[in-house]
A and B are shown apart, each in its own frame.
Chain A
């Protein structure tokens, strides 16, 4: 009887080794990474896996993970791993009482790839979109009569500056928490230049509090150039374009302080804003300033719409430089943008129709569902 009992315990603790172990070079990477995958063994009470690696078969295998991992995949991107060197692997599965090893698999060699196939769809779209932009840029060189629709927010700049001048109050311009690497900050620079040029002509003080020193330096240069061009370099004061802080609410408090002390007649919020947008715009509203806003941060747009007199929505801020300086070549990009939008509307409508038809006719036309899935998958980013 005791012998039968021992056999029963051993039998219950037996564990099956991991099946279908596969190793391959990790695709679409810089190399020095090997992907190991396996099928989860059909055994209960598995507590984890440990991966072992060796450079050649007589070598001693070394464990890669100190803590057991759960799952069916492991990416070996150890800093000691070298490209072009053959490696061998096996994995050990652990239960509460036992462990079992898979057969050794290999050799596998890691290497860097010359093209990320996961990004093929991006390449195709980039070529089409940029090709269309360049086509319209080239066409714009010959065409001088291009039309750009009215953008109320940009038209209101002169109105706001005029009002500040009449009231004898300064003008405030903020890039928010944007960095010079943010496209919206670069898009706001021509607007700052236009405002600076007008404030120089009208002899109105322009205050630009900054949260980033690089943006501050660029703003100083832009304003200085605009003042010089307007023939009033004497009015330029570097201290008006100063650094406050890079801290979000510290910046909001600082700008609020300037608004309450200086009481500007016109305020421009053009750049990158987060939760501080409403704090600053509401303070601007409380002193009765005419406010104009524009940001690419869509979550802050409703706040600006609620608190400001004019708000540039979406890509309107990107069109500012073309609108303020309507050269044909600049307008060519806007024309290209509109044409791509038109193509996208057609494409999205066709995909919507296809998806609807696939849903309505699952039995009559099953290929529609596959086609719809393939198209959606192609557009889905992989890495």
Chain B
């Protein structure tokens, strides 16, 4: 009997408690959206502050997870342990330099602080390198996506070519050449009017404003409704996966 009561109490605490909390919080935030008067008006900002405080503390969890994972790898001399050593050294080296710069220069981001040097000459170039590799990945993905396999892929290729030509200056130059060719074949056509027509730019504008926007809005409406349905399932306690149940 006692065990049963204890289990019921635990279940209430672990399952029903969070659901009540979620329902109450959601209701308060919905009310706060429509009522600017206190105590509702600043509720969203207050909740966001609490979230920022909590997530700030959870970074310690992240640091613990990262450090433990790699320290174990180093201790066990697992495959690639040297990279783990490099990571742990960089992690604690950055932390040390940040603290030193804070104490010595009042801010880690002071212009002559060692932390700022590390940020400027190591972190930023590393990030830029990663971003730069995106260009190569776009090329390889585009190659596969635009291979002419069927009608849909062919239409995609034509649309992509028109959008690209409409976006870059060379598209305008190519159209200039085509206009000249048309003028040579049909001398009655006005070359200046033909050049001004800018087929690639016009096609790009039409593709982006009509078919692309229509598809994008369709997806957007679906996402918004899906989001509302999902929120409602969470608020009403139907969806409980975030509680691992």
Contact = CB atoms under 8 A, between A and B. Distances in A.
Interface of A: 28-31, 112-116, 119, 122-123, 126, 129-130, 133-134, 137, 179-181, 183, 186-187, 189-190, 193, 210, 212-214, 216-218, 221-222, 224-225, 238-239, 242-250, 252-253, 257, 261, 275-276, 278-279, 281-282, 285, 296, 298, 301-303, 305-307, 313-315, 317-319, 321, 329-330, 333-334, 336-337, 340-341, 344
B238 A222 contact: no
B229 A337 contact: yes
A252 B242 contact: no
B154 interface: no
Interface of B: 30, 33-38, 41-42, 51, 54-55, 58-63, 65-66, 68-69, 72, 79-80, 83, 126-127, 130-131, 133-134, 137-138, 140-142, 144-145, 216, 218-223, 225-234, 236, 238-239, 241-242, 244-245
Contact of A247 (B55, B80, B127, B133): B127
Given A123-B34, A278-B138, A333-B238, 19 more contacts: A28-B36, A30-B42, A112-B36, A112-B37, A130-B228, A133-B228, A137-B236, A137-B238, A186-B234, A239-B69, A243-B66, A278-B137, A298-B216, A302-B145, A303-B141, A307-B144, A314-B223, A321-B241, A333-B230
A314 B142 contact: no
Nearest to A223: B244
Contact of B222 (A30, A123, A275, A341): A341
Contacts of A278: 134, 137-138, 141
A344 B221 CA distance: 9
Given A217-B61, A242-B69, A305-B145, A116 B137 contact: no
Contact of B35 (A114, A210, A252, A306): A114
A372 B231 CA distance: 32
Nearest to A179: B55
Given A30-B38, A123-B34, A239 B72 contact: yes
A190 B36 CA distance: 36
Given A278-B138, A307-B141, A119 B33 contact: yes
Query: Which 5 residue pairs are nearest across A and B when measured between Cβ atoms?
Result: A315-B226, A318-B226, A213-B62, A249-B130, A243-B62
Contacts of A336: 229
B226 A30 contact: no
A224 B244 CA distance: 9
Contacts of B241: 186, 189-190, 193, 222, 321
A282 B242 contact: no
Nearest to A229: B244
Nearest to B143: A306
A330 B242 CA distance: 16
A125 to B, nearest CB: 10
Contacts of B72: 239
Nearest to B236: A137
Given A30-B42, A213-B65, A318 B229 contact: yes
Given A115-B34, A306-B142, A186 B223 contact: no
A130 B58 contact: no
Nearest to B51: A181
Contacts of A222: 241, 244
Contact of A340 (B34, B61, B225): B225
B229 A334 contact: yes
A360 B141 CA distance: 45
Nearest to A112: B37
A282 B134 CA distance: 9
Contacts of B220: 298
Nearest to B57: A213
B41 A30 contact: yes
Contacts of A314: 218-219, 222-223, 226
A114 B41 CA distance: 9
A30 B144 contact: no
Given A189-B241, A213-B61, A298-B216, A318 B130 contact: no
Given A115-B34, A278-B134, A216 B242 contact: no
A216 B37 contact: no
A337 B220 CA distance: 13
B38 A253 contact: no
A180 B33 CA distance: 21
Contacts of B227: 183, 296, 315, 318
Nearest to A191: B241
A70 B245 CA distance: 58
B127 A116 contact: no
Nearest to B64: A243
Nearest to B226: A315
Contacts of A239: 65, 68-69, 72
Contacts of B142: 306
A329 B238 contact: yes
Nearest to B42: A30
Contacts of B55: 179, 212-214
Contacts of B140: 282
A317 B83 CA distance: 36
